[in-house]
Amino acid sequence: SPAKPLAVWLEQGRAVPPAQAVVFLRRVAPLLDAAHREGRAHGGLAPDCVLVAADGTVAFEDFGVAVGLAAAGAKSAVLPAYAAPELDSGKPSPAADLYSLGVLLYELATGRHPFEGTNLPVMKREKRYTPLSRLVPGCPPALDALVDGLLEPEPSRRLPAPGGLEYALRALG
């Protein structure tokens, strides 16, 4: 069957069990890590750009389009809800992709966006969200820690570093 955007899965507001979120991450990690090791960024990672097939295969659409637009002087094409805080004043980067992935994982595991309110930039910079472990029964501490590291507002402190997702997954078993 054809792949559907992750947005279709998220539209119903249904959360997936933590184990399924980890399976999703295991499928996404090699794709992002490979691009990031080459210094490439998606630049606009959001649910519409992540395609998921019925067999769990994951692919990205529009890889690098936002980066190209930024290089041409266009305003960021990243959806504000998924954009890393640094995109307010900079160009898309692998670190920004990791932030967006953290938002996607949070949304997958909880059925809601981590930052809800009227002032997203401030909420993101101040890291004001409810940790996964408080919303998801049975959330493995390693998944909670990974999402927290991905949602770090300062790109230089964001964990894991670009290209290190697969390594970080080892903590999840």
* Biggest alpha carbon–alpha carbon distance for the chain: 45
- Residue 81: is its pLDDT beyond 80? yes
- Nearest CA to 83 among 9, 10, 147, 151? 151
DSSP state of 138: T
Q: What is the pLDDT of residues 116-163, one digit of tens each?
A: 888 999 999 999 999 999 999 999 999 999 999 999 999 999 999 988
Q: How far apart are CA 60 and CA 6, in angstroms?
A: 10
In whole numbers, what is the pLDDT of the chain averaged over residues? 87
Q: What is this structure's pTM?
A: 0.90
What is the reported pLDDT for 73? Answer: 62
pLDDT top residue among 100 and 77: 100
What is the reported pLDDT for 173? Answer: 79
pLDDT-derived band of residue 26, with 50, 70 and 90 as boundaries?
A: very high
What is the reported pLDDT for 65? Answer: 65
